[in-house]
Amino acid sequence: MVQGIANWNTEQTEEWLQGYVDDWVAFFRKHTNEGKVASYIPELKKANPDQLGISIVGTNGMKIQSGDTSIPFTIQSISKVFSFIVACMERGVSYMLDRVDVEPTGEAFNSIMHLEMRQVKKPFNPLVNAGAITVSSILEGNTSDEKLEPIFELLEKLLHYRPAIDVDVYESERDSSMRNRAIGYYLLETGFLESDLNSTLETYFKQCSIELTIEDIARIGTTLANDGRDIETDEEIIPRPIARIAKALMLTCGMYDASGKFATYVGIPAKSGVSGGIMAVVPPRVRSEDMPFIEGCGIGVFGPALDKQGNSIAGIRLLKHIARQWDLSIF
């Protein structure tokens, strides 16, 4: 256990923590060969399964990065957090919660099963495909570009630059995703969609294809850890009640049917995507001062080799280890 220093926010301790994280990334990288890259979106098959990288940005500004840190990747399901936040900002929280529930499914991210169960009046949560596609339909605007513009504006505020879509990944998913089209038709038939199916699915595929780096993901995580306020300017970018719901959803539903295990063994709100990214949010903890990042941090992880649930296999192990070493659990 790393401990014994009261003030972690110095260059020396930053260097010291960097040494630990470098060792941990090197150690957990070998677990990448136990997973497989996503193949159901053909373009994602091109990813290198050996890669693993992590970026940690504290709300105090301290930054530690290690491994494969400079590879941009499509955020896939991590985008579901952003589209839900934007929809809540546009329509209001109660409007959204009337239309999408906040319950974990215990099923795969692209499961259609619950929609068929009679007593279900709305999709289970906005972080699985059925809920996220419903959210895309609720976003204001008639075309996918109109619907996506506020998501890009939010990301630009969070990151201080405007990210772009990886067109090859977008087209690859658009042309191959029969499953999401099936979910879309089902939602249309059951009256859950608030826009036409085409612009809804186009919005969904495009948001999943937004390209970011792990540092970007960590920065956004930090703002969420900081209750939606920019750590440099203190501007409120995401209203606090919405940031809070987003974190609750990440904790309960963010890792699909591994969410319970992740909450139990790691204990921090997180959202994964099938390209191998994970955004984790560590709120400030009330603990003894001798733990790093006690004022909270955001963590971005990238490791394209996935486990059976579609989460980065080495990324989860690395996060679990760091959470233990630095006592990051919210519990």
Determine which one of 77, 111, 195, 199 is catalytic: 77
Residue 256 annotated in active site: yes
| Burial state string for 144-178 with b = 16 or more CB within 10 A and e = fewer than 16 | beebbebbbebbeebbeeebebbeebbebbbeebe
Residue 95 annotated in active site: no
- The reply on whether position 274 binds ligand GLN by CB under 6 A is yes
Candidate residues 68, 173, 215, 327; the one interacting with ligand GLN per rule CB under 6 A? 173
Residue 121 annotated in active site: no
- Number of residues interacting with ligand GLN: please give it, by CB under 6 A: 11
**Token digits of residue 165:** 């879509």
- The reply on whether position 217 binds ligand GLN by CB under 6 A is no
Of 269, 163, 291, 292, nearest in space to 215 by CA: 163
Residue 93 annotated in active site: no
Residue 120 annotated in active site: no
User: Up-side HSE of residue 210: CA atoms within 13 Å toward CB?
Assistant: 27
Determine which one of 81, 135, 274, 281 is catalytic: 274
Q: How far is Cα 223 from Cα 65, in angstroms, rounded to an integer?
A: 18
- The reply on whether position 96 binds ligand GLN by CB under 6 A is no
Taking CB under 6 A as the rule, which mask of x and - marks residues 174-193 in contact with ligand GLN?
A: ------x-------------
Query: CA separation (Å) from 83 to 87, 91, 120, 236?
Result: 6, 12, 22, 18
Element of type H or E holding 97:
helix 93-99
Shortest approach of ligand GLN to residue 211 CB, angstroms? 13
- The reply on whether position 77 binds ligand GLN by CB under 6 A is yes
| DSSP summary character for residue 112 | -
Q: Give the interface with ligand GLN as residue ranges (CB under 6 A).
A: 76-77, 109-110, 129, 173, 180, 208, 273-274, 310
Catalytic residue numbers read 77, 80, 204, 256, 274
